[in-house]
Amino acid sequence: MTTTTHRIVVLGAGYTGLLAAVRMARRTRKTNVHITLVNPSARFTERLRMHQIAAGQELAHHDIPTILDGTGIRFVQGFATAIDPDARRVYVDGFGDITYDDMIYALGSSTDTSVVPGVADHAWTLNDPRRAHDFARRVAACRTVTVCGGGLTGIEAATEIAESHPDVRVTLVSSGELGAMMGTKARAYLNTVLDRLGIVREIGQRVTEVTADSVVLADGRRIATDLTLWTSGVRVSPLAAESGIETDERGLIVVGPTLKSLSHPTIRAIGDAAAIRQPWGRIHGTCQSGLPSATYAADAIAAELRGKTVRPFRFGYFHQPVSLGRRAAVIQFTRADDSPGRFYLTGWAARTYKEMVSSTPVPAIKVTKRMPVDVQLSKGGAATRDLVRHG
């Protein structure tokens, strides 16, 4: 039990940062802990639904200070511009210095527009809901849209746009096979829906340039387009690397078994900001893995404040849920290492399942103010059990 005020700073109020802050407030409510949550915007962004905004749909407004009401958490609106991890101090633009005893680093990721020429100047992304709204207004007045990137975000965006705007010709460009993470039958269903929606596919094609009115492919062909939506590639904030915290080649904070930074143990990194490894390899950033890392970090700090031993973080994948517009979806159930399993869902059942997945995080965060909520579907079973024995 702490006798002096223990200061905790959470950087980032996306799904992981907001959940970590609220859960930590609940777990430490009987201790002398002061929690500060830092985020550039007071509005909570539902990243899982950004493709819906791009297609012209309106989502519910979630205000971060309102969500935090009653938790005792101080909300600071501003950009974290520097961290001094040795002095345990973070600098917030327009606010000043905030000192901390423990930090949870949850700044997340965004689409990388720096690799291919012309993307930063001419393509749209789903990084910002305001830009996504602007994109939606333009889609309504155009004839052709090209979506670059065949990952889950690209597939969901292309199908959402095609369904909402049947007169718009949607082209999906991917360097790899669509739905490569799925089994054969789930992948076949995915392509059936793409056919039904009239989505043109350019598979095995790499984009070499984006111009104001075209997308240039590696084979020299030029796809004429009114709008280009870029969903390929991920980058993280350079803040950690610039602040001298150990990161990997992509800028993710290198963490140990309890998600503590290897170079600065007073910092725990979660979600897309952390290079987390399990026995089969590195976890890739998704809400499915991010939320468990958030609850784990909050519980770990609370346990350490009580002098308890913290066991290693364990995680296993459970599913790959993909919306295909509002009327279809496909759910591929997976093994712990994210490889496809035998079972999958399509049709009404998949659509209902996917909507449940997308709509769960915000209510779960709100409920966490009153009681801890279990957001983890799998700890990996036998695949991660040795982490406990040898942790």
Mean of pLDDT values over 344-356: 96
**Is the predicted pLDDT of residue 159 greater than 60, yes or no?**
yes
* Neighbour-count burial of 209, counting CB atoms closer than 10 A to its CB (0-12 exposed, 13-18 middle, 19+ buried): middle
**Is the predicted pLDDT of residue 350 greater than 50, yes or no?**
yes
pLDDT, tens only, 17-34: 999 999 999 999 989 999
As given in the structure block, the two tokens for residue 371 are: 């009681």
pLDDT, tens only, 83-142: 999 999 999 999 999 999 999 999 999 999 999 999 999 999 999 999 999 999 999 999
**Is the predicted pLDDT of residue 1 greater than 50, yes or no?**
no
pLDDT, tens only, 37-90: 999 999 999 999 999 999 999 989 999 999 999 999 999 999 999 999 999 999
Mean of pLDDT values over 255-275: 98
- Cα–Cα distance for residue pair 157/170, rounded to 1 Å: 10
Q: Where in the chain is the domain with CATH 3.50.50.60?
A: 6-108+237-315, 123-230
**Is the predicted pLDDT of residue 285 greater than 90, yes or no?**
no
Task: Quickly state the pLDDT bin for 386 (edges 50, 70, 90).
Answer: confident
Residue 254: its H or E element: strand 253-254
pLDDT, tens only, 204-259: 999 999 999 999 999 999 999 999 999 999 999 999 999 999 999 999 999 999 99
- Cα–Cα distance for residue pair 275/12, rounded to 1 Å: 17
DSSP letter for each residue of 130-171: HHHHHHHHHHTT-SEEEEE--SHHHHHHHHHHHHH-TTSEEE
Mean of pLDDT values over 350-367: 96
> At residue 286, what are phi and psi to the nearest 5 degrees?
-145, 165
Alpha helices by DSSP H, listed for the chain, are 15-27, 50-54, 64-68, 119-122, 129-139, 152-164, 184-196, 239-242, 287-305, 347-359, 361-368, 385-390
**Is the predicted pLDDT of residue 389 greater than 80, yes or no?**
no
DSSP letter for each residue of 289-339: HHHHHHHHHHHHHHHHHTT---PPP-----EEEEE-SSS-EEEEEE-TTS-
Predicted pLDDT of residue 3: 63
Predicted pLDDT of residue 391: 54
End-to-end Cα spacing for the chain: 24
String of b and e for 105-142 (b: at least 16 CB within 10 Å)? bbbbbbbbbeebebbeebbbbbbbbeebeebbeebeee
The amino acid present at 81, given as its one-letter code, is T
**Is the predicted pLDDT of residue 164 greater than 60, yes or no?**
yes
Report how many helices (DSSP H) and strands (DSSP E) the chain contains, helices first. Answer: 12, 24
**Is the predicted pLDDT of residue 390 greater than 80, yes or no?**
no
**Is the predicted pLDDT of residue 2 greater than 70, yes or no?**
no
Write down the CATH superfamily of domain 6-108+237-315: FAD/NAD(P)-binding domain (3.50.50.60)
pTM of the predicted structure, to 2 decimals = 0.96
pLDDT, tens only, 167-201: 999 999 999 999 999 999 999 999 999 999 999 99
Class of domain 123-230: alpha beta
Mean of pLDDT values over 245-274: 97
